[in-house]
Chains A and B, each alone.
Chain A
Amino acid sequence: MFVDTVIEDKALHKPVFLIGLSVTVLAIFFALNFTNTLFGEFLRPVIGDPTESGFFGRLAVSLVLTIIFVLNLLAISFTRLKVQILIVWVELLLLFLAFAYSFDLKMSFIQSRIPLMISRGLFTTIYISAISIVIATVIAVIGAIAKLSNNGFAYAISSFYTSLFRGLPLLLQLFLIYKGLPQLGFMVDAVPAAITALSLCYGAYMTEIFRAGIQSIPKGQWEASRALGFKFNLILRKIILPQAIPIIIPPTGNQFIAMLKDSSLASVLGVWELMYLARTLGQRDFRHMEMLLTAAMIYWALTIVLEVIQARIEKKYKQKS
C-alpha cells in the first residue's frame, strides 16, 4: 500500500480511546467469565477458591486479564513495524495452540497416525491438487483465448462452460461426474472423478481471471505488434501473455490455494486423502479432535508453502518490470 509520509497519532496513545478500549475489553472478559479456568487458579491467592469467589472473583479475573491485554497492546505499539507483526503473529499462534491444547489431546495417538496421514493422505491431496492445477491452467488459457476470439463457436462453448461450472456447487459437480458418468456407460474411479471435477470447476474460474488479465493489456500493444507484422499467436505469446502473467499470478495463486483445500471434497467419494483420513482414523478410538487438528495443521502448512511460492514469483516479476 501507499504509505503517507505524515504520521498520525496512534489511536492507542489517545487516552479516550485507551479508556474506551479497556472498558470494552473488561466487559467482554467479564461476560465470558474466565473464573473457572486456569486464570482463576492463578488468582487463587487473591480471590480464594475460584468457584466460590462470586462477583468479586469474576471481576478480579476480568480486570487482571484486561490489564495484561492492554499493556501488551501498548508495549507492542512502541516497537517497530516488523517487530509488531512478528509479536502479534507469535501471540495469535500461541493462542491457537492453547485452544488446540485445551482439548486434552493425546499426542501419542497423533504420533502413531501421522505417518499414514502423510504418506497416504498428504500425498494423495498433493497429487490430486497438482494434476488439477495443471489441467485447470491449460483449460483457462484455452478458455480465455476462446472468450476473446471472434469465433462464434469458441465464444459460445467457452462462455457456456464458465457459466455452467461456476454456477454449480463443486460437490454437486463431483457427484454428477462420479455417479452420472457410470450410468452413461463410462466407469470413472474416484480419483479421476475428483481431478475432473476440480479441473473443470477451477478451470472455469481461472478462465475468467486469464481473460481479464489479457484484456487489461492496452490495445496499443496489439496495434504496435500488428503494425510490425506480427501474427496473432506471436502477439499473444511474446507480447500479451508476458505482460498479463504478472497481473494474473496473484488471483491465480488464490485459486490454487482454494483448490488445494477443495480437494478435501474428494473424501466424500472415499478417496484416501487428508480429509478422509482425518475423519476416519480417529473414529474407532473417539479421538476426532486429534486427527482433525492434525489435518488442519497440515493443510495450513501446505497453504503457507503456496503463499511463499506465490510471493516469490510476484517479487520476481516485480523486479523485472
Chain B
Amino acid sequence: MMDTKTNIQNNTEMTPVISLKGVNKWYGDFQALSNIDLEIKLKEKIVICGPSGSGKSTLIRCINRLEAHQEGKIHVSGIELHERMKDIDIVRQDIGMVFQNFNLFPHLTVLENCMAGPNWVRGIEKNEAKERAIAMLEQVKIPEQADKYPDQLSGGQQQRVAIARSLCMQPKVMLFDEPTSALDPEMVSEVLDTMIELANSGMTMICVTHEMGFARQVADRIVFMADGEIVEQNTPEEFFNNPQHDRTKVFLDQILK
C-alpha cells in the first residue's frame, strides 16, 4: 500500500511539468535561443544563470508564451504551446511569473492586485478571492499594506506583492526573471527569503538570477546559458566546485569575485 502510493507520487514527480525539445527562437535574423532541451519535473527548483544577453529571459518567457518560439516543441502540463492554440490563457493561469520590475497594476491597491486574477479570470467570488489574497499577503509578510497603492511601497515590498499576486492564482509553476535585480541591496534578502520559503513549500520554480547563495541553497539544478545555448547544467555542488566548460569557469570567476 505504502509502496504503490510512493510509486505514484514518484511517477508524477518523474513526468516533466515543462519540457522543451530542440527549441529555436529568432528575433529577426538574430538567433536568441539555439537548440534548447530542458525538462523540469514537479517540485523541481531550477536556477538559470549566464551572462547578460544570453537568452535567459527569452527562454522563460517562451514557457508561458510571452514570446513565441519558431522551432522545436514546448509542453506545459502535457499541453503543447503553439500559435494556433485556443487555451493559452488556461496554461498561463497555471504558470506564475514574477518580473524584474514588478509590473504591479498601479491603479489598483495591493489587495486588488492580488484579487484581480482569481476574481476576473478564474471567476472566484469576491469574498473568497479577498480571503485568498489576504492569506497570500500574509505568506509574503505584508498583510498590513493591503490597502496601499503599489507606488507607496518600497521595491522589496512591491516584489513581494507581485509574488503574492501570482500565488493567488495557485499556479503549478513559478517563473522568476531576475526578481531582485531592480532592488536596492538592502531589499534583496527579503525577496529571496520569500522565494526560499516558497521553495520549501514544494513549489516548482524556474528562477533566472545571479544570486548564487540562493542558487546554492535552493536549486536542484543550475542551468548555465551563453549565446542562446544551454552550455551546461548540473547540481549546485558540481556546478560550483567542478564546472565543466571554460565559459562557465569564466562566468563563475566574475560573479563570485
- A residues engaging B (CB < 8 A)? 218, 220-221, 223-231, 234, 238-239, 242-243, 320-321
Q: A220-B99, A221-B103 are in contact. Are A226 and B93 (CB under 8 A)?
A: no
Contact B99–A228 (Cβ < 8 Å):
no
Q: Which residues of B contact A (CB under 8 A)?
A: 64, 66, 89-90, 92-93, 95-97, 99, 101, 103-107, 116-117, 120-121, 149, 151, 162, 165-166, 169
Determine the distance from Cα of A221 to Cα of B105 in the docked complex, in whole angstroms. Answer: 7
Are A238 and B116 interface neighbours, CB within 8 A?
yes
Residues B66 and A223 in contact, CB atoms below 8 Å apart:
yes
Whether B106 and A228, one on each chain, are in contact in the complex, defined by CB atoms closer than 8 angstroms, is no
Q: Which of B99, B103, B165 neighbours the largest number of chain A CB atoms within 10 Å of its CB?
A: B103
In angstroms, Cα B119 to Cα A2, docked, is 40
Q: List 13 A-B contacts (CB under 8 A).
A: A220-B101, A224-B162, A226-B92, A227-B92, A227-B96, A228-B92, A229-B89, A229-B90, A229-B93, A229-B117, A230-B120, A238-B120, A239-B105
Contacts of A224 in B (CB 8 A): 97, 99, 103-105, 162
Determine whether the beta carbon of B165 is less than 8 Å from that of A228: yes
Known: A223-B99, A228-B93, A228-B169. A321 touches B121 (CB 8 A): no
Query: In the assembled complex, how far is the CB of residue A67 from the closest CB belonging to chain B, in whole angstroms?
Result: 53
Cβ of A320: which chain B residues have Cβ within 8 Å of it? 107
Q: Are B97 and A234 in contact (CB under 8 A)?
A: no
Bound CA–CA A220/B150 (angstroms) = 15
How far, in Å, is B240 (CB) from chain A's closest CB? 31
For the complex, give the distance between the alpha carbons of A89 and B151 in Å. 38
**Minimal beta-carbon separation of A214 from chain B (angstroms):** 14
In the assembled complex, the Cα of A220 lies from the Cα of B105 at a distance in Å of 10
The 7 closest A-B pairs by CB, nearest first: A229-B93, A224-B103, A220-B103, A227-B97, A229-B92, A228-B117, A229-B89
Query: Taking the nearest CB of chain A, how far is it from the CB of B102, in angstroms?
Result: 8
The binding surface of chain A is classed by DSSP as helix
Expressed in whole angstroms, the Cα–Cα distance for A147 and B117 within the complex equals 28
Given contacts A224-B105, A239-B105, A321-B149, contact A229 B116 (CB under 8 A): no
A227 touches B95 (CB 8 A): yes
Instruction: A218-B103, A230-B89, A238-B116 are known; give 11 further A-B pairs, CB within 8 A.
Output: A220-B99, A224-B105, A226-B92, A228-B165, A229-B121, A231-B89, A243-B105, A243-B106, A321-B106, A321-B107, A321-B149
With A228-B92, A229-B169: A234-B121 Cβ-Cβ less than 8 Å? yes
Q: Are A227 and B121 in contact (CB under 8 A)?
A: no
Question: Which residue of chain A lies nearest to B162 when distances are taken between CB atoms in the complex?
Answer: A224
Give Cα A226–Cα B103 distance, bound, in whole angstroms: 12
CB–CB A227/B66 < 8 A: yes
How far apart are the CA atoms of A298 and B66 in the complex, in Å?
54
User: Is there an interface contact between A243 and B107, defined as CB atoms closer than 8 Å?
Assistant: yes
Nearest A residue to B65 by beta-carbon distance? Answer: A226
Q: Which of B90, B117, B169 has the most CB of A within 10 A?
A: B117
Nearest to B61 among chain A residues (CB) is: A223
Asked whether B99 lies within 8 Å of A230 as measured between CB atoms, the reply is no
B107 close to A228 (CB less than 8 A) = no
Least CB distance, A286 to chain B, in whole angstroms: 58
Chain A residues, CB < 8 A from B96: 227
Residues of B contacting A234 with CB < 8 Å? 120-121
Contacts of A225 in B (CB 8 A): 105
**CA of A239 to CA of B108, assembled, Å:** 9
Q: A31 vs B93: C-alpha distance in the bound complex, in angstroms? A: 77
| Nearest CB on B from A191, distance (A) | 39
Q: Is the CB of A228 within 8 A of B116?
A: yes
With a CB–CB cut-off of 8 A, which chain A residues contact B105?
Answer: 221, 224-225, 239, 243
By a CB distance below 8 angstroms, the chain B residues around A238 are 116, 120
Complex Cα distance, B151 from A226, in Å, reads: 21
Task: Report Cα–Cα, A224/B96, bound state, in Å.
Answer: 10
Give complex CA distance A235, B210 in Å.
32
Provide the residues of chain A in CB contact with B120, threshold 8 Å.
230, 234, 238
Cα A214 to Cα B165 in complex, Å, equals 24
Chain B residues contacting A239 (CB-CB under 8 Å) are: 105
Chain B contacts of A321 at CB under 8 A? Answer: 106-107, 149, 151
Given contacts A239-B105, A243-B107, A321-B107, contact A228 B66 (CB under 8 A): no
Q: How far is A224 from B177 in the complex, measured between Cα atoms in Å? A: 12
- Within 8 Å by CB of B121, from A230, A242, A243, lies A230
